[in-house]
Structure 1
Amino acid sequence: MFLRLSTKLLNISIASLCRAKQLEKAEAAMIDGIRLGVLPDVVTYNTLITGYCQFVGFDAGYSVIHRMREAGILPNVVTYNSLMAAATRHRLLSRCVDMLEEMFEMGIVPDIWSYNTLMHCLLKVGKPDDAYRVFHDIILKNMTPCQTTNALMLFRNLQRHGYIPEIVTYNILINSLCEAGMWKTVMTLFEELKELGHYPNTITYTTVMKCCFRCKHFKEGLEIFMEMKRKGYAFDLFSYCTVIGALLKLGKWKYANNYIAHMIKIGYELDMASYNTLINWCCKKGKLEDAYNLLNVAEDMGLHGDKYTHTILINGLCRAGNIDIAQRHLNHMKMMGFDCLVAHNCFITGLCKVGLLDYALQVFKSMDTKDSFTYSTLVHNLCRAKRYRLAAGLLLSCIKAGMIPLGADQRAVIAGLARISSPRDAKRFKNKIWRAKLLHY
Structure 2
Amino acid sequence: MAIRALKTILFPTPMQKPSFLHLSNFSTYSTPDNPQSMISTVVAVLTHQRSKSRWAHLRSLRPNGFAPSEFSQIALHLKNNPHLALRFFLWTHRNSLCDHNLSSYSTLIHILARGRLKRQALIVLRDAIRVSRLENGELESKPLKVFETLVKTYRQCGSAPFVFDLLIEACLDLKKIDSSIEIVRMLISRRISPRFSTCCSLIQQVSQRHGPNEGYKMYKEIFGSNCGAVEPSVEIFNTLMVAFYQDGIFEKVKEIWEQMLGLNCDPNCYSYSILMAVYCDEGKMDEAENLWEEMRAKNVEFDVVAYNTIIGGFCGIGEVEKAEEFFREMGLSGLDGSATTYEHFVKGYCKVGNVDSALLVFKDMLRTGFRPEGLTMERLIRGLCEKSRGLEAWEILRVAKGRFGFCLMRKSLEFLVMGLCQEGKMGEALKLQRQMVSEGFEPNCEIYDAFISGYMEQGNVEMAEKLRMEMLEIGV
Say yes or no: TM over 0.5. yes
In structure 2, which of residues 163, 179, 185 is the aligned counterpart of residue 159 of structure 1?
Answer: 185
2:152 alignment partner AA: K
Q: How does 1:141-180 map to 2 (within 5 A)?
A: 143=172, 147-148=174-175, 150-157=176-183, 159=185, 162=189, 164-168=192-196, 169-178=198-207
Higher alpha-carbon deviation: 356-365 or 254-263: 356-365
Report the equivalent of 2:412. Answer: 378
Report the equivalent of 1:326. Answer: 358
Residues 1:369 and 2:379 aligned together: no
Q: 1:112 to 1:320 in 2, by over 3 A?
A: farther
RMSD over aligned CA atoms reads 4.4
CA distance in 2, matches of 1:384, 1:228: 52
CA distance in 2, matches of 1:225, 1:182: 19
* 1:382–1:391 contact (8 Å) kept in structure 2: no
Higher alpha-carbon deviation: 331-340 or 185-194: 331-340
Residues 1:213 and 2:245 aligned together: yes
Gaps of at least 5 residues in structure 2 are 1-66, 69-92, 109-119, 133-140, 422-428, 450-467
- Deviation at 1:156? 1.4
Q: 1:395 to 1:349 in 2, by over 3 A?
A: farther
CA distance in 1, matches of 2:128, 2:395: 46
- Deviation at 1:191? 2.1
Report the equivalent of 1:275. Answer: 307
How many residues align structurally? Answer: 321
- Deviation at 1:139? 5.3
**SS in structure 2 at match of 1:264:** helix
1:330 alignment partner AA: F
Report the equivalent of 1:351. Answer: 384
* 2:200–2:236 contact (8 Å) kept in structure 1: yes
- Deviation at 1:117? 3.7
Report the equivalent of 1:120. Answer: 145
Q: 1:334 to 1:112 in 2, by over 3 A?
A: farther
Cα deviations by residue, 1:195-219 (Å, 9 ceiling, x for unpaired) = 3225322111111011111111101
CA distance in 1, matches of 2:382, 2:128: 42
- Deviation at 1:266? 2.6
Report the equivalent of 2:339. Answer: 307
1:361 alignment partner AA: W
* 1:417–1:425 contact (8 Å) kept in structure 2: no
- Deviation at 1:166? 2.1
2:104 alignment partner AA: S
CA distance in 1, matches of 2:107, 2:417: 59
CA distance in 2, matches of 1:131, 1:356: 66
CA distance in 1, matches of 2:128, 2:383: 45
Q: 1:396 to 1:242 in 2, by over 3 A?
A: farther
Residues 1:187 and 2:216 aligned together: yes
* 1:202–1:233 contact (8 Å) kept in structure 2: yes
In structure 1, which of residues 298, 305, 319 is the aligned counterpart of residue 330 of structure 2?
Answer: 298
* 1:183–1:215 contact (8 Å) kept in structure 2: yes
Residues 1:229 and 2:261 aligned together: yes
Which TM-score applies when normalising by structure 1? 0.59
* 1:248–1:256 contact (8 Å) kept in structure 2: yes
- Deviation at 1:234? 0.9
Q: 1:392 to 1:173 in 2, by over 3 A?
A: farther
CA distance in 1, matches of 2:347, 2:314: 12
Report the equivalent of 1:43. Answer: none
Q: 1:346 to 1:334 in 2, by over 3 A?
A: same
- Deviation at 1:424? 8.4
1:339 alignment partner AA: R
1:113 alignment partner AA: R
Q: 1:301 to 1:388 in 2, by over 3 A?
A: same
- Deviation at 1:422? 6.3
Q: How does 1:240-255 map to 2 (within 5 A)?
A: 240-255=272-287
CA distance in 2, matches of 1:196, 1:346: 49
Please identify the structure whose Cα radius of gyration is greater.
Answer: 2
- Deviation at 1:135? 5.1
1:219 alignment partner AA: E
CA distance in 1, matches of 2:297, 2:184: 46
